[in-house]
Amino acid sequence: MQFTHYGGEAALLAVDLVNTTVTGTPFTPASLEPLLAARGTARRSLTAAEAAEVEAWSHRLAPCFGPQDPRRRREAVNGLLAEAASKPYITVHDGHDPHLHYADPALGPVAHIRAVTAAALAHVICFAGHSRLGTCARARCGLAFVDTSRNGRRAYCSVRCANNDAVARHRRRDTD
């Protein structure tokens, strides 16, 4: 999978937001700031009300991950795109080459987060394949991930979950 900003970092931001919900981590300005910084979000200082809006958005992102009918996933992402209602435009700043921005900076950081995460999920579906938006196959985990593997067959959120699941399967075979 080509890892551009919108197909990569913004998609991983969507994963981070969904996983924050899955793990039960509170959505506070302090907890979101490092997460947004790690994914290259320029405006990452949020108010408590904005953090609550991001939490609500994360609940909208969650159904886009995991095994499902491609049509259902497209409809979910199309709903996000419509809700984000962004107007992409070309910009040049900070010495960068021309690139797309998906939300007017005047609309604030929440509009930006919504626009880039919706666009990123659409980018993954269109350019990498709908099944690349997965959830961990290990029971009791359920974390979301973007499958960046070469063959697109990743089933676990991490090597640790894959190993733990393999050990559990091995132990079950030994007791049978």
Q: Which residues of the chain fall short of a pLDDT of 70?
A: 1-7, 176
User: Contact 117/14 with Cβ under 8 angstroms?
Assistant: yes
User: Contact 44/79 with Cβ under 8 angstroms?
Assistant: no
**At what angle are helices 48-61 and 109-127 packed, to 10 degrees?**
20
pLDDT value of residue 126: 92
pLDDT value of residue 120: 93
C-alpha to C-alpha distance for 65 and 54, rounded to whole angstroms: 17
DSSP-derived letter for residue 49 is: H
pLDDT value of residue 42: 84
pLDDT value of residue 3: 54
